[in-house]
Chains A and B, each alone.
Chain A
Amino acid sequence: MTAMQAMPPSPTAPAETVLELRELVVRTQSSPAKTILKGISFDIAAGETLCLVGESGSGKSVTSLAIMGLLPKGILEVARGEIHLERQALLSATSRQLRDLRAQRVAMIFQEPMTALNPLMRVGEQIEEVLVMHQRGLSSGQRRERVLDMLDQVQLPDIERVYESWPHQLSGGQRQRIMIAMALILEPRLLIADEPTTALDVTTQQQILKLIKALQQRHGTSVLFITHDMGVVADIADRVCVMRHGEVVETQPIEALLRHPRTDYTRQLLQAVPSLRPRPAREVMSPEVVLEAIELEMRYGGTSRWQRLRGQSGTGKLAAHDISFALRRGRTLGIVGESGSGKSTVARCVMRMIAPTGGGVRVLGKDIASLGRAALKPHRKRIQMIFQDPFRSLNPRLTVGASLIEGPVNYGTPKAEALTRAAELLALVGLPEDALERYPHQFSGGQRQRIAIARALAMEPDVLVADEAVSALDVSVQTQVLALLADIQQRLGVAVLFITHDLRVAAQICDEVMVMQQGEIVEYGPAGEVLGAPKHAYTQSLMLAAPGRHWDFAGFKPLDEVYRAERPGVSLAR
């Protein structure tokens, strides 16, 4: 199932082509029309998995919608080209023919399992609807039988109960399984999966990927898999088609692509993937502890009056419990965990966006955990935050200059002086000086993240808290921003508390790593130890679930080969 084992599809018989795209051009219906897809061509053979890879704006999702005939009406249209599904021309099909095709011969699953199901219909009914629409002859008993069988195939527990469930009662992973069941119940020839695991945690992601692969093999389905994640590509693809700005850059079998990319773009894309191997440890700059958490606890919601009336105890959710750590000047501490692990809660407590319900937070030795709004002000300066979403972290109505000087002016710096300093900071983060006069919407996501970093640095803080600060960025931009952070840390000696779900990023930027699960620390230590040789079962499972963990992308070879070269006889295989 890994890239190493990936075989060319059915080597015995010449593979029949299931989907064929020829010079597909899609453009906007606005005037002037903008071309989104500039002549895309590729094929998918029976039983094959083709990965469509690209950064945001590459047109990979538009490609999938065009195949399904689901381009948003009045906004996008196919201008030229051909799409053939098993030799049937899709673009000239009537809408009636297209409807019959969907679910029967081509099906699709989407990125957001949380919103892709109708919230007002039981999930069993939603799967059954496919049968109602496309298999007229079945009795309701037979339909139910088929649905239950499909629920069993997507490995859901307690299928009778799941059949009767509402979408909101299921987790994200379970909902994605429902989507898969719905897509595959009529055994279509082609499954289009548009970033189906991007919104899921790594362990769930791994399970869903395995499931898709297993069902694909059982039913002989071809899969068009759209993703931005090279790790996922390495795990599941037979062939890869790299897209950029609406064009196909190159198409190659997976192993060939990973070892010998033909174009510079693909090479850059691969090199930008951070390695899972922790970087070598850095020397301790200074023994001074700038940020310390002591048995921090955060409990949301106490016992309501109504619950007390009914004699229930507090159902308040313990979002973080017994969190202790120390961060030294110039070091980076990573907090790693899946969604709901409490890592962001810790960040918000440390920032004093919320007041922790127990324990202490010391900034430069001073406990700020229970300070009031006014008493907090002098300490706010010491600790600054960089947010996840670059599009929402800057006030759209203020110029970049106004955003940058807001903090220093609050602390009494004269405006002119603050502006001079702001210009220097922009240079430091690699932006031109005239950016001061411009507004956030004139910048790209990566640039805005640089501005946000400059804004934090304007306060000359001792600690930067970065909450998933590079998660919303494309890999190439992500690399640049991470390099900038490292550079700034070197120059200014600021300490960084880096919250992330991405083990690769953590391995490359952190000195120490703290792994959290359900509000508690499960493992805490130097990055080399925690990520290099995890002791706790949970950390191990996280590392095992990391997609593409056997591949050194930047080195263009499998990790096994790397290890064999370094330490003959030792293998990563566990």
Chain B
Amino acid sequence: MSPISSSAPLIGARRLRLWPAHRPGWAIIVAGVCLALIAMAAVLAPWLAPHDPLQMSPASRLQPANDTYWLGSDAYGRDLLSRVLYGARVSLTVGIGSALIAVVIGLPLGILAGFFRGLDAVVMRVMDGLMAIPNVLLAIAIVSLTSANLWTVMAAITIPEIPRVVRLVRSVVLSAREEPYVEAAISLGSSLSTVMWRHLMPNTLAPLIVMATYICASAILTEAILSFLGAGLGTETPTWGNIMSEGRTYFLIKPSLIFWPGLMLSLCILSINLLGDAARDRLDPRLNKRGGER
């Protein structure tokens, strides 16, 4: 008797989804390096930054790039490069923090909703309602009711992301609980918590990892939009969004105030999305569809 891998039936176009396996292409490697550099900039900002990002000097407003200000200075004479480096801190914190919190809250809710029908009805109605509120508007409302600090901004960004996690986990659980091995576990006298944690939960991990990367990217984007609209952190904490927000007035004279933070932001989100796509192809090809629904 040979192991099944060598005698697996190769029949029917449907089961023949053997797309050529993805080797990590150059795009993935570039994305990884890019993200690593941004993370380094965030962690090492106090040592890397040539100036204090908050230090105003009215004498040197809107300087072009020169030996002192490598990327030039903003309307208050603050060093653009230093501000952009510090901006990476907020973006990455918000991105990673939101993804983690959304998963930590959404995973148990999704598992329970997928398992208990009564709970499911209630939880999913609430999630549908939350999904119906455009996430930036919801975040704006939350921030405008409280004072904007890192925690409220993160909460405002995370709350609208939770329904996506819950829906994903629930759908995975709903299909996994029909698997015979789950029924077998029940007939072996396993407790509900064993069934959920040992047999159901591991099925959700691969899609969750992928989902977490997408949430991370989307949270960074939302934070930037909030800051850009003036509903985010104040300018005493430099973020890519509020640097651009301040730069809008001077866009015609000095586009680099928008160009540099915009470039960093785009690179950061692009890298995370590319890594997320790679993780999806590797971990869970079935997620193609759900991954598309972002």
Residues of A within 8 A of B (CB): 28, 30, 36, 56-57, 59, 61-62, 70, 72, 74-76, 111, 351, 353, 373, 377, 380-381, 383-385, 387-389, 392-395, 397-398, 406-407, 410-411, 441-448, 452, 455, 459
B181 touches A407 (CB 8 A): no
Smallest CB separation, A484 vs chain B (Å):
13
Give the residues in chain B near A389, CB-CB below 8 Å: 180
Give the residues in chain A near B10, CB-CB below 8 Å: 28, 36, 57, 59, 62, 76
B13 touches A72 (CB 8 A): yes
**Once the chains are docked, how many angstroms separate the CA of A411 from the CA of B187?**
12
B4 touches A407 (CB 8 A): no
**Once the chains are docked, how many angstroms separate the CA of A75 from the CA of B20?**
9
Knowing A36-B10, A56-B9, A57-B7, say if A385 contacts B187 (CB, 8 Å). yes
B181 touches A61 (CB 8 A): no
Give the residues in chain A near B186, CB-CB below 8 Å: 353, 380
B5 touches A61 (CB 8 A): no
1/0 per residue, CB under 8 A from A, across B4-30: the answer is: 110111111100101010000000000
1/0 per residue, CB under 8 A from A, across B116-139: the answer is: 000000000000000000000000
Give the residues in chain A near B192, CB-CB below 8 Å: 373
Residues of B within 8 A of A (CB): 1-5, 7-13, 16, 18, 20, 179-181, 183-192, 194, 198-199, 202
**Once the chains are docked, how many angstroms separate the CA of A384 from the CA of B188?**
8
Give the residues in chain B near A353, CB-CB below 8 Å: 183, 186-187
Knowing A62-B10, A389-B180, say if A442 contacts B3 (CB, 8 Å). yes
**Once the chains are docked, how many angstroms separate the CA of A389 from the CA of B179?**
10
**Once the chains are docked, how many angstroms separate the CA of A442 from the CA of B5?**
7
Chain A residue with the shortest CB-CB distance to B202: A397
**Once the chains are docked, how many angstroms separate the CA of A411 from the CA of B194?**
13
**Once the chains are docked, how many angstroms separate the CA of A394 from the CA of B12?**
24
A-B contact pairs, 13 of them (CB 8 A): A75-B16, A373-B192, A377-B189, A380-B186, A388-B180, A394-B181, A407-B189, A407-B190, A411-B189, A444-B4, A452-B184, A455-B188, A459-B188
**Once the chains are docked, how many angstroms separate the CA of A61 from the CA of B180?**
28
Chain A residue with the shortest CB-CB distance to B15: A72
Knowing A387-B180, A395-B199, say if A75 contacts B7 (CB, 8 Å). no
Smallest CB separation, B253 vs chain A (Å):
54
Among B2, B12, B180, contact of A392 (Cβ-Cβ < 8 Å): B180
Give the residues in chain A near B2, CB-CB below 8 Å: 444
B187 touches A393 (CB 8 A): no
Chain A residue with the shortest CB-CB distance to B200: A395
Among B8, B180, B189, B191, contact of A57 (Cβ-Cβ < 8 Å): B8
Smallest CB separation, B3 vs chain A (Å):
5
**Once the chains are docked, how many angstroms separate the CA of A392 from the CA of B199?**
12
**Once the chains are docked, how many angstroms separate the CA of A380 from the CA of B184?**
11
Among B9, B20, B185, contact of A406 (Cβ-Cβ < 8 Å): B185
Give the residues in chain B near A62, CB-CB below 8 Å: 10-11
Knowing A62-B10, A387-B183, A389-B180, say if A443 contacts B3 (CB, 8 Å). yes
Smallest CB separation, A475 vs chain B (Å):
15
In the complex, besides A56-B9, A75-B18, A445-B4, 18 extra interface pairs with C-beta distance below 8 angstroms are: A30-B18, A30-B20, A36-B10, A57-B9, A72-B13, A76-B16, A380-B188, A384-B188, A385-B184, A387-B180, A387-B184, A389-B180, A395-B198, A406-B190, A444-B4, A446-B1, A447-B1, A455-B188
